[in-house]
């Protein structure tokens, strides 16, 4: 079962209450959703979105005790505004994949177990990781691995992939990258264990297959517009690319004028729509990281709607 990350902190941030409307844009296994429903008993409503239909089947069973307080939608959160959900008192986005998705080899997210190079969170989407690996020109593949994986050896990896393709299985790709980049796992001693050399390339492919950064950029204005006055938006990100997008957008929306600093007079007429609640992102405690290593890179940022 997926362990919800920063659960206490998310509930403290959203302050669910009876009669409130809550949106979980990444409902997954429903850990955050169940806690939100409990805290907003007896009549808070929860709208749970997920682009993975199989997650919705499981979460529907898990949340069945909450009856008609739960509304599940098979949808990408980047089309939040299309669902006619009432103004929300709290919205959560807990980005990325769930442990359930990661731990199923047939979904192709992990190189620890062999599976097809798929990586689609929404299995009805068109393009798989194998499509990108086997068809992108070498330069585009290198750019993708560099941009979304922040992988400095992206050119070497892309060249080797293009020479050896087609690839269909995660293990074959991970082995090739380990050969190209070289991998000596560190055991014992005080040094931190080295991450597997395929980690960054797999992250890059997953981000590209699911257009994760595009979806995040598209949902931010919709989520803020969806908040009731005083409503809060909480976002948990897992890598610097996501966190940078969230932080910059929040900073921009919290300002009255977004004209370039060298411009003496404001012409943008931009008005702040939110207050930033977390000046610095909230990160998990050592105890949480020990219990759930997946939490180690999590960052939670929270804003509140000014509601003009």
Instruction: Give helix 170-181 / helix 154-164 axis angle, nearest 10°.
Output: 130
Site string for ligand SAM, 32-61 (x = CB under 6 A): x----------------xxxx--x------
Give every strand in the sheet of 88-94, ordered side by side: 70-74, 45-50, 21-24, 88-94, 227-237, 299-305, 274-276
The count of residues interacting with ligand SAM (CB under 6 A) is 22
Name residues contacting ligand SAM, limited to 115-154 (CB under 6 A). Answer: 121
For strands 45-50 and 70-74, give the pairing: parallel
Stretch that binds ligand SAM, among 11-19, 40-48, 90-98, 102-110 (CB under 6 A): 90-98
Neighbours of 69 (CB within 10 A): 16
CB-based closest residue to ligand SAM: 28
3-state SS, residue 116: strand
- The encoded tokens of residue 125 equal 């989407």
CB of 141 to ligand SAM, least distance (A): 23
CB of 83 to ligand SAM, least distance (A): 12
For residue 297, the minimal CB distance to ligand SAM (Å) is 12
The phi, psi pair for 299, rounded to 5°, reads -135, 130
Q: Return the residue of 22, 47, 66, 77 that touches ligand SAM, per CB under 6 A.
A: 77
- Is the CB of residue 72 less than 8 Å from the CB of residue 27? yes
One of 20, 30, 44, 284 touching ligand SAM (CB under 6 A): 30
Spell out the residues 6+ positions from residue 117 whose beta carbon is closer than 8 angstroms to its own.
Answer: 108, 128, 129, 130, 133, 167, 168, 169, 170, 173, 205
Rounded to a whole number of angstroms, the minimum distance from the CB of residue 276 to ligand SAM is 22
Q: Could you tell me which stretch among 92-100, 134-142, 163-171, 263-271 binds ligand SAM (CB under 6 A)?
A: 92-100
Residue ranges in contact with ligand SAM by CB under 6 A: 2, 4, 26, 28-32, 49-52, 55, 76-78, 94, 96-98, 121, 215
């Amino acid at each position: 079962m997926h362990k919800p990350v920063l659960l206490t902190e998310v509930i403290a941030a959203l302050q669910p209450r009876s009669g409130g409307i809550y949106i979980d844009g990444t409902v997954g296994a429903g850990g955050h959703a169940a806690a939100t429903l409990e805290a907003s008993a007896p009549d808070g409503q929860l709208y749970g979105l997920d682009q993975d239909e199989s997650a919705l089947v499981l979460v529907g069973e898990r949340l069945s005790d909450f009856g008609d307080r739960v509304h599940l939608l098979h949808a990408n959160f980047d089309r939040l505004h299309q669902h006619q959900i009432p103004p929300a008192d709290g919205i959560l986005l807990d980005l990325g994949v769930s442990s359930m998705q990661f731990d199923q080899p047939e979904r192709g997210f992990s190189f620890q177990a062999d599976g097809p190079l798929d990586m689609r969170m929404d299995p009805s989407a068109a393009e798989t990781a194998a499509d990108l690996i086997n068809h992108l020109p070498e330069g585009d593949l290198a750019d993708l691995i560099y941009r979304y994986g922040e992988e400095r050896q992206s050119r070497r990896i892309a060249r080797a992939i293009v020479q050896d393709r087609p690839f269909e299985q995660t293990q074959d790709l991970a082995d090739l990258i380990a050969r190209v980049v070289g991998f000596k796992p560190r055991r014992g001693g005080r040094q931190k264990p080295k991450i597997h050399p395929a980690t960054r390339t797999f992250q890059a492919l997953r981000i590209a297959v699911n257009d994760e950064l595009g979806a995040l950029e598209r949902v931010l204005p919709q989520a803020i517009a969806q908040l009731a006055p005083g409503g809060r938006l909480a976002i948990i990100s897992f890598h610097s690319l996501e966190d940078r997008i969230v932080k910059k957008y929040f900073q921009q929306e919290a300002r009255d004028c977004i004209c370039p600093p060298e411009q003496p007079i404001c012409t943008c007429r931009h008005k702040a729509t939110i207050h930033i609640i977390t000046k610095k992102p909230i990160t998990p405690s050592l105890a949480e990281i020990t219990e759930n290593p997946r939490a180690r890179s999590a960052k939670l940022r929270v804003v509140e709607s000014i509601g003009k």
